[in-house]
Each structure stands twice: as C-alpha cells, then as structure tokens.
Homo-oligomer: A and B are copies of this chain.
Amino acid sequence: MKTPSSLDFLTETLRRLPGVGPKSAQRIAYHLMQHDRDGAALLGRALTQAVERVRHCNLCNTFTENPVCETCLDSERDPTLLCVVETPGDQLMIEQTLTYKGLYFVLMGRLSPLDGIGPKDIHLDKLILRAGDGVVTEVVLATNFTNEGEATAHYISETMKARGLKVSRLARGVPVGGELEYVDAGTIARAMLDRRAT
C-alpha cells in the first residue's frame, strides 16, 4: 500500500513550514486534497509568485516588489531621520502612531548570539551604508525592549556613534493608562531613573 508520490512530496514539503510536524503535515495535505483543492492551487501560485517577486528594498531593507519601496520614495518624509526597527510589523505600529515622519531601516531580525544570529544577519553593513548617506543626522532606535532588542540597540548605537551620528532610543517608562500597582518593578525603576522635568 503506497501513498501517491505527489501527496508524499506535499506532506514532506509542508513540514518546512514553521510549527508543522509530521502529523499535522499529513492532516493538512489530506484536508487540501479532499476539501480545498482550490485553496491548494491558490497557495501553490501564491508561494511561487512571492518567491519570484518579493525582494528587499535597496534602501530600508523591508519587503517590496520594487528596487526601492514606497516609503523610501515618499518625498514628504524627513530624510534626516532614520528609525531602526526589527520587523515590517514594528514599522507599521510606529506608522500608526502618526508621531514619526522620517524614514526607516528594517533589520528583519535582532541580534541573538545564542541562535547564531549576528550582525550580518541583521544587515548591519547595509544599515551603515544607509545611515552614512550624508543626509541622515539622527538614528532612532526602535528595536523591542526585550533583552535581545536592547542588545541590538546597544550594538547599533555604538556603531552609529563611532560614525558621528546622533543616536536616540524610544523612551521607556510606565505605559499610558498604566497603574503603578500593576506595572512591574523594573519598568517603574526605569521610569524613575528616566524621570523628566515637568
């Protein structure tokens, strides 16, 4: 008794998706073949198309189908400011605040020596080139406030300062609407140290 080889191939290949083990790969393959062939065909096309078309912006490194993305081409933005984020999702969050009108650099990751993710993997060379274009004057570090995000910010900060650029970091502190009683002590300690004159 043999499974058809194209079904075996599908099941094996589904395992390359993050979080899909052998059992669920088979479950998904059977589901698609039996109940959603249209979905399978569409997904097949979507994957092939995305691999062909999606590339990284020459300037900011985010995903785009063009050499340079729309954000980088937007002449309304302040080209002296360069905000460094970990992912396109983080960039979107900042855009939604409407508080920033400069440009971006998307690392597509964060430094994580334990996982073997070093400066090369977060495209530091590309960032150095980008920030050193002679127009950028301030690099705003908006990596996450996790251990890895902080380490990444620190590393980039040193690199940028060595090149004579002004570097800033999003402020840490008590979240808007946060009640002290429910905020962790580390955050309060940081807010106390970073307290500002009113």
- Chain B residues positioned under 8 Å from A42 (CB to CB): 13, 16
Given that A18-B27, A19-B24, A42-B16 are contacting pairs, would A47 and B10 also be in contact in the complex, using a CB cutoff of 8 Å?
yes
Task: Tell whether A46 pairs with B108 under 8 Å between CB atoms, given A40-B51, A88-B30.
Answer: no
A137, CB-defined interface residue at 8 Å: no
Chain A contacts with B in 1-37, Cβ cutoff 8 A: 1-7, 9-10, 12-14, 16-19, 24, 26-34, 36-37
The listed residue (B17, B48, B54, B64) touching A48 by CB distance below 8 A is B48
* Distance of A51 from chain B, by nearest CB (Å): 5
Task: Tell me which residues from 73 to 120 in chain A have a Cβ below 8 Å from any Cβ of chain B.
Answer: 87-89, 91-92, 95, 108-109
A43 at the interface (CB under 8 A from B): yes
Q: Are A6 and B43 in contact (CB under 8 A)?
A: no
On chain B, the residues within 8 Å of A1 by CB distance are 70-71, 91-92, 95
Contacts A17-B28, A89-B26 given; indicate if A33 touches B50 (C-beta within 8 A). Answer: yes
- A154 to chain B: which residues have CB within 8 Å? none
Range for the number of chain A residues in contact with chain B: 35 or more
Q: Tell me the smallest distance from the CB of A108 to a CB of chain B, in Å.
A: 6
A13 touches B95 (CB 8 A): no
Determine which of B28, B30, B49, B88 lies in contact with A6 in the assembled complex, contact meaning CB atoms within 8 Å. Answer: B49
CB distance from A106 to the nearest CB of B (A): 10
Question: Which one of A33, A46, A52 has the greatest number of beta carbons of chain B within 10 Å?
Answer: A46
Contacts of A95 in B (CB 8 A): 1
CA of A17 to CA of B45, assembled, Å: 14
Residue from the set A7, A31, A71, A92 with the largest chain B CB neighbour count within 10 Å: A7
Q: List 8 A-B contacts (CB under 8 A).
A: A1-B91, A1-B92, A6-B65, A7-B54, A19-B28, A40-B47, A41-B48, A44-B46
